[in-house]
Structure 1
């Protein structure tokens, strides 16, 4: 069994190679581009892989992605039509995304930002008590990530709902589905959290039309993909007062270029794509188990439906 690790973004690829070797001692595990590259790989583990991956590794039996979003893989040149693409199923990301969401939700709903400014001015002044009914949370996406985020918000007694194309039910929260349910979902939402996969249907969903349908003084949190957001529409909604703030972890261009207007806007909080990192130990255990199952001819979960793009 031959496995190649290929990533153009991972800062320490050798650490992943070492972890995969420990988890799969029966396999030959190598780093893309090393002197042993010979086009004989059975499986590839990738994150932002090189564009000539399939030209140089024509014998792949499956491709494993170090994340849940596979939009970049679907755009790779020469992607074989029958090659199974396997997305990461959590890998420790969901709880981190819940933490990220709760931080920004609590900061706004409990006025912690205002308390920080009062401290800077030496002002002791309690603000109004929280009214949780005024802070309705709506999570776009009801998969593993979206469901965990929604349930974490609901556990703190924020009125919470999810929306998905299928209308998938998430225990403990209200569920909406399809185009018919989107307007009602947005109308009851003040804190909009995006946890959708990036597909042709969801690209640009965070736009002026969406923002116009939210409750007044809304907060937008994007933890999915930069391609979901129409940046000019966000700035316009902030300027018009339709939105109070935005927390953005992902961007169309990463790193976010110097001089981008988001950097200097106090209404926008920026983080460098860290809301949900793939934890190496969990991720490697999951991938190793699936590689062994495929090698035995067994079915596995997490295979991407290319028609749905997730």
Structure 2
């Protein structure tokens, strides 16, 4: 019998306990799932950074640590973690992110705020958008989530550009990479969506210089990571009209402090890190499938590159 350790906050245990066992049963896995196994006997750890495990050295038998979160920046630098660390790539999480990104992109593209938020009796029939084919969307970060969002936006008719640190080729997305590619993909951008991981190389990828490359009156949408944007530079760009509106789901400090100027800025929408969350039912299926691969001697999927940080 496999011993699987669940290391996350207590509320998550109540949410995941039954769905994980159902998924293990569906994959034909004989599993003893617990929050308090003897570390020396644990085969796999289902992990969230807010759980009790932070020192992985006692887990000498553990074959892999399976993250419940898509982001791994809070654990990837843990020197005690020598076991393979697997990112959560979950079709439920992906679907949620695609829906959030497409919804907010269309909101800005269609100019909904001009009509919906100003119920003042003024007939604003001069405010209308171009068609999607006339507005290019730029996605910084074209991994699993970014590529899925790009395909959905392409399906609606938007030309889509995508940037990554290393070269990629993705159908329906014009791909750029490297420092020069970042400038090229941001130059004249009207809608910029951030889905990069949080690494030293991506910190403040949107700053005073790069925000200045956008088309005047462009839109910024960030469901990725808070440190991708220099807050002061974004506020300055909003105040001078270089950026028309920013929709932000993630922040340097969360919850966003009550005195942060984003709360009161008329051209900022704050959402409370809900662009997409891990769904217990679909995530449990992914975890069970990864463990089954491990038990069959097959390579794990979505193994984190420790040097790259994701």
Q: For the residues of structure 1 that align with 2:130 and 2:54, how far apart are their CA atoms? A: 54
Give the Å deviation of 1:60: 2.2
Corresponding residue of 1:130:
129
Higher relative contact order (CA 8 A, sep 6+): 2
Matches within 5 A, 1:80-99: 80=82, 83-99=83-99
Q: For the residues of structure 2 that align with 1:307 and 1:292, how far apart are their CA atoms? A: 27
Give the Å deviation of 1:64: 0.6
Corresponding residue of 2:3:
2
Corresponding residue of 2:48:
47
Corresponding residue of 1:200:
200
Corresponding residue of 2:274:
274
Q: For the residues of structure 1 that align with 2:117 and 2:86, how far apart are their CA atoms? A: 46
- Please give the per-residue CA displacement for 1:159-202, whole angstroms capped at 9, x wherever unaligned: 22111122212211211122221111111311110111222211
Give the Å deviation of 1:51: 5.6
Corresponding residue of 2:107:
107
Between Structure 1 and Structure 2, how many residues are aligned?
302
Q: For the residues of structure 2 that align with 1:121 and 1:129, how far apart are their CA atoms? A: 18
Corresponding residue of 2:120:
121
Corresponding residue of 1:286:
286
**CA gap 1:294/1:274 in 2 versus in 1, 3 angstroms:** same
Q: For the residues of structure 2 that align with 1:124 and 1:241, how far apart are their CA atoms? A: 24
Corresponding residue of 2:181:
181
Q: Which moved more, 1:64-73 or 1:43-52?
A: 43-52
Q: For the residues of structure 2 that align with 1:13 and 1:206, how far apart are their CA atoms? A: 37
Matches within 5 A, 1:1-310: 1-8=2-9, 11-25=11-25, 26-31=30-35, 36-39=36-39, 40-48=41-49, 49-50=51-52, 52-55=54-57, 57-76=59-78, 78-80=80-82, 83-118=83-118, 120-132=119-131, 135-310=135-310
SS in 2 for 1:17: helix
Dislocated runs of 4+, deviation >4 Å: none
Q: For the residues of structure 2 that align with 1:121 and 1:101, how far apart are their CA atoms? A: 29
Q: For the residues of structure 1 that align with 2:273 and 2:97, how far apart are their CA atoms? A: 11
- Please give the per-residue CA displacement for 1:208-241, whole angstroms capped at 9, x wherever unaligned: 1210111111111111111212111111111122
Give the Å deviation of 1:273: 1.2
Q: Work out whether residues 90 and 145 of structure 1, in 8 Å CA contact, stay in contact via their aligned partners in 2.
A: no
Q: Which runs of 5+ in 1 are unaligned?
A: none
**CA gap 1:5/1:190 in 2 versus in 1, 3 angstroms:** same
- Please give the per-residue CA displacement for 1:19-43, whole angstroms capped at 9, x wherever unaligned: 2122225111112xxxx44223211
Give the Å deviation of 1:140: 0.7
CA RMSD across the alignment: 1.9
Q: Work out whether residues 91 and 279 of structure 1, in 8 Å CA contact, stay in contact via their aligned partners in 2.
A: no
